[in-house]
Amino acid sequence: MRLSPLCFALCLLLPACGPSDPRALTDEGSSALASGDAKGAQASFEKALATLKPGEPDFARASMGRFQALVRSEPARARDEFLAYAKTQGAAVSEADYGTLVGEFLRREHTVEAIDVMDAGVKSFPKSEAMLAIRKKVEEQARTAKDPAAMQKMKGLGYIGGDK
């Protein structure tokens, strides 16, 4: 049996198209993020999200990975898009999701953005011990941050110097 030249060419070119499976793309994005390639991770997560719909397997995982990648390059955008995502996804967004993103902001010293996400998490889960612990971490970093806006924001929200 002999392959036609067209079939042979397609067999050679098909792998060059890259993975289109959202799970594979999400795994690729996670690997890129873990290795420090935020731009590559973001691209993989965005390709995965282009094929996923809310509620489908891997939608939340790809979304959270994309937000983590954005923290490294565009922290304000990461904050804004995560907060919009949390609003539209409602109960599908967990305390752990807030904690993951707040932790990413804190590791990168984007304290003001961390405060905004933490505040939304505390309001979404007001009785949560996990959110209380996250709030304390944010407060500690706000106190030691080189950015006076972080402390002002915590005070303005009533987390420091108030009775929250």
Amino acid making up residue 35: S
Claim to verify: residue 164 and residue 94 sit in the same structural domain: yes
Query: Going by C-beta distance under 8 Å and a sequence separation of 6 or more, which residues neighbour residue 99?
Result: 121, 130, 131, 134
- Candidates 148, 121, 124, 146; CA nearest to 136 is 121
**Is 32 inside a domain boundary?**
yes
Q: Are 67 and 81 in contact (CB under 8 A)?
A: yes
Mean pLDDT of the chain: 88
Claim to verify: residue 67 and residue 143 sit in the same structural domain: no
More confident residue, 62 or 8: 62
Residue 13 has pLDDT above 50, yes or no: no
- DSSP of the chain: ----HHHHHHHHHGGGG----HHHHHHHHHHHHHTT-HHHHHHHHHHHHHH--TTSTTHHHHHHHHHHHHHHH-HHHHHHHHHHHHHHHGGGS-HHHHHHHHHHHHHTT-HHHHHHHHHHHHHHSTT-HHHHHHHHHHHHHHHH-S-HHHHHHHHHTTSSSS--
Q: How far is CA 152 from CA 20, 87, 114, in A?
A: 46, 25, 14
Claim to verify: residue 125 and residue 159 sit in the same structural domain: yes
Q: pLDDT by residue (tens digit) across 117-131?
A: 999 999 999 999 999
- In the structure, what pLDDT confidence band is assigned to residue 16 with cuts at 50, 70 and 90? very low
Q: pLDDT by residue (tens digit) across 68-113?
A: 999 999 999 999 999 999 999 999 999 999 999 999 999 999 999 9
**Is 101 inside a domain boundary?**
yes
Claim to verify: residue 79 and residue 159 sit in the same structural domain: yes
Q: pLDDT by residue (tens digit) across 44-70?
A: 999 999 999 998 879 999 999 999 999
Provide the whole-model pTM.
Answer: 0.84
> Whole domain around residue 117: which residue ranges?
75-164
**Is 82 inside a domain boundary?**
yes
* pLDDT number for residue 162: 56
- In the structure, what pLDDT confidence band is assigned to residue 145 with cuts at 50, 70 and 90? confident
Amino acid making up residue 156: G
**Is 28 inside a domain boundary?**
yes
- Please tell me the distance from the alpha carbon of residue 99 to that of residue 102, in angstroms, as a whole number: 5
The count of structural domains within the chain is 2
* pLDDT number for residue 2: 53
- In the structure, what pLDDT confidence band is assigned to residue 147 with cuts at 50, 70 and 90? confident
Percentage with pLDDT > 70 across the chain: 87
Claim to verify: residue 58 and residue 110 sit in the same structural domain: no
Residue 10 has pLDDT above 90, yes or no: no
